[in-house]
Amino acid sequence: MALVQIENISKIYKTGDVEVAALSNINLSIEKSAFVSFVGPSGSGKTTMLNMIGCLDKPSSGQILVDGKQVGSFDRKQRAAFRGDVVGFIFQSFNLFPVLTAYENIEYPLVMIKNEPVEKRKEMILSVLDSVGMLNQKDKFPDQLSGGQKQRIAVARALVTQPKLVMADEPTANLDKASSINVIRLMRDMKDKFGTTFIFSTHDPRIMEEAEITHTLVDGKLS
Amino acid sequence: MYRIFTIAFRNLLRYKRRTMLTSLLITLGIVLVILFSGLAGSFKTMMIGQITDSNLSQMQIHKRGYVSSIDTMPLHLTLDAKRYKKIEGLLSNNSEIKAWAPRIKLNAMLSNFTETTNIRLNAINPEKEVLVCPDVATRMTFDEKREPGMLLNKGEVIIPDKLAKGMKLKIGDAIVLVANNKDGSVNGLNFKVAGIIESILGPQGKEGYMHIKDAQELLRMDKPEMIEVAIRLHDFDKLGKVYADISSKLAEFINKKGMPEFEIHTWDKLSPFSNIAKMIDFMTITMKIIMIAIVLISILNVMMMSVYERVREIGTMSAIGTAPSRIMGLFLAEGLLLGLISTIIGNVIGLAGIFVLNIYKISFAFGRQDNLLLAPTVNITELLWVSCIVLLISVFASLQPAYKASRMEPVDALGHV
């Protein structure tokens, strides 16, 4: 069974009397441990697509099944709990918490969402920090890290709870070329190591090449 | 929970200047409340102590109707020996009562053989009076040769200082007191001025003193009669409870007309200072309300700014699966922590201020009294009450911003610019 099953979803945004279709009648399935990219020009619906799959937003019509659950019918609390259990997020602007060190940023979901005990937490964080090659930077605050290092910590934070699915919206948009390639390769290595499904959006051709499966969106439709 | 407070604390430190200014404002409010409560409370306690311990006593029992006509000091509303016995029986059975003393209040004419004036007199049993009003002698000035502890002998009077000055009387001088008894006949007796008493607040604060037996003789009472029974308790804080208890028992004594025979009043119903005391309480409450408003507005403002500045961060928290209640908890913890830090600093500075005021005592004049010294104290219950209110208001003020943060849709929050 596919990890993500999308059945005829549409997303329509209303601004006053004007309706804009961000996604139209999308049907798609994504298997476990896949490394999938959504590509397309700005405004094509990549972010909306990722938001739907990542349970951050609800479709206007159609169904989305993630890990066998109909996430479109979840309320706020259920969606938050589901995201905490099943989905990890990597953001374009890293979105690390500035008041927490690298170690504490990775620890955040384990404390605030998973309530893992201290010893287990420590073991998981050190392991993931080692995997992303940031063990020696663990006590630094985000403003003491480079863009690439921040994104590595963000990857570690997304992976530390061992989610089945990691969503990354333009994860390399704020990085230079070398860092971008490094981050994407790191994500692929993590996918191989943990068997996590990675879904990311990009419009950078160099990054697209790294994806195993690429879906192209144009004007809210798969082409 | 520990981690929530750690994050909250670091977020407070993130905007150091804003946190410091807000904390300073709340601290100032708390310090002002502590100092004002300490000073006003000590003034109130001192004045109540002076009134009850040196003149009025804590409670008084009279024949029904006396207090409403107290200005004329009526002599027909007396308690005879039989009624006094009834009251004594009641008082002796109450373990909260420390002492009681009979008194006669009368108006008289005082003559120094060249001039005559009016005088209000409080006729007392000296041995019993000092138990009811232990500080009565502290207001009195006696001859240096007088035996220590001796308040009043038969044939002696203690006159108010203003009257002594006006009549040019000094200790040892002879005077004549002339008074009407309840039937209207006049009697006069010779007395010696044994002491001079300093005036205090209230009409009773300007009374002279004489021996109760002299008053009975001057008023030609064939049998012992008295006007009032002054009462002192072991614990002043139990005044309300003891008053209610005695009041209900006194109500059982009915006169021939089927009406209650006696009336009982606590000090505040007998002294005009009770209105000042009420005003002090009102001002203290006003100070507390101002402090609450300061805390409420400061924390609400800081927390609202905090939420608006961290929309994307809230979006991230929410996106990675933080439950709305946890997000709310984070912001509530921030408000609570800000209130807690300010409360601790405010209490420390407030207590230090009280300590300093106790070293350099404040002297002031009130009414006709000069050089009254204030020694402010702070009640621990009061301190805890103020602290709890600040903490509660801190949480209350954070509720709306915290709720707003918890209700943010991650999609909208992450897209916030």
Nearest to B11 among A82, A99, A158 (CB): A99
Which DSSP helix (H) or strand (E) runs through A221? strand A221-222
Q: How far apart are CA A123 and CA A125, in angstroms?
A: 6
Mean pLDDT of the B27-48 span:
87
Mean pLDDT of B282-296: 87
What does each of the 223 residues of chain A score in pLDDT, given as a tens digit? Answer: 788 888 888 888 888 888 888 888 889 988 888 889 898 888 888 888 888 888 888 888 888 888 888 888 888 888 888 998 899 898 888 889 999 999 999 999 998 888 888 888 998 899 888 877 888 889 999 999 988 888 889 888 988 888 889 998 888 777 777 777 777 887 788 788 888 898 988 887 777 887 888 898 888 888 7
Would the pLDDT of B203 be above 70?
Answer: no
Using CA atoms, how far residue B332 sits from A200, B315, B318, B405, in Å, is: 35, 17, 16, 10
User: Helix H segments across A58-174?
Assistant: 76-86, 102-112, 118-131, 147-159
CA dihedral A23, A29, A33, A39 (to 10 degrees): -30
Q: Which residues contact B265 (CB under 8 A, 6 or more apart)?
A: B59, B60, B62, B67
Q: What share of chain B is helix, strand, coil (3-state, %, to 5)?
A: 55, 20, 25
A31-61+73-222: CATH homologous superfamily? P-loop containing nucleotide triphosphate hydrolases (3.40.50.300)
Give the C-alpha separation, B135 to B121, whole Å.
Answer: 18
Shortest Cα distance, chain B CAs vs residue A71, angstroms? 14
Classify B364 in phi/psi space as left (phi over 0), alpha (psi -120 to 50) or beta: beta
- Distance from C-alpha of B254 to C-alpha of B260, rounded to nearest angstrom: 4
CB A106 within 8 A of CB A153: yes
Do the Cβ atoms of A109 and B321 come within 8 Å? yes
Adjacent-strand bridge partners of B263: B62
pTM over 0.80: no
Chain pair A-B, CB pairs under 8 angstroms: 69
Q: Which two tokens stand for residue A106?
A: 């990775």
Nearest to A182 by CA among A150, A212, A160, A213: A150
Cβ distance A97 to B316 less than 8 Å, yes or no, reads yes
Chain B closest CA to A136's CA: distance in Å? 23
* DSSP tag of A115: -
Structural domain spans, chain A:
31-61+73-222
Give CA–CA dist B319/B327, Å, rounded: 11
Residues of chain B with CATH 2.40.70: 93-230
**Residue of B320, B325, B330, B414 to mutate when probing chain A, most A C-beta within 10 A:** B320
> ∠ CA A96-A101-A107 to the nearest 5 degrees?
75
Q: What value of ipTM does the predicted structure carry?
A: 0.88
Give yes or no for a contact between B301 and B398, defined as CB atoms under 8 angstroms apart.
no
pLDDT of amino acid A141: 94
- B367 falls in which pLDDT band (50, 70, 90)? low
Rounded Cα gap, residues B120 and B162, in angstroms: 13
User: Beta strands of B282-397 (E only): which ranges?
Assistant: 362-366, 369-374
CB proximity A80 to B under 8 Å: yes
Give the amino acid at A147.
G
Interface probe, candidates B312, B316, B331, B417, chain A, greatest A C-beta count within 10 A: B316
**Residue A98 touches chain B, beta carbons under 8 Å:** yes
Structure tokens at B33: 């409340």
B320: nearest CB among A57, A83, A93: A83
CATH architecture of B93-230: Beta Barrel (2.40)
By residue count, chain A amounts to 223
Alpha-carbon distances of B71 from B64, B105, B155, B268, rounded to whole Å: 15, 11, 26, 17
Would you say A163 and A109 are in contact if contact means Cβ atoms under 8 Å apart?
Answer: no
Residue B13: its chain A contacts at CB < 8 A?
Answer: 99
Q: Which two tokens stand for residue B231?
A: 């009462």
C-alpha neighbours within 13 Å on the C-beta side of residue A69: 15
C-alpha separations of B242 from B250, B260, B268, B270 in Å: 12, 19, 15, 17
User: CA-nearest residue of chain B to A54?
Assistant: B319
Averaged pLDDT for residues B30-49: 87
Does residue B321 belong to the interface with chain A, where contact is any CB pair within 8 Å? yes
B316 touching chain A per CB within 8 A: yes
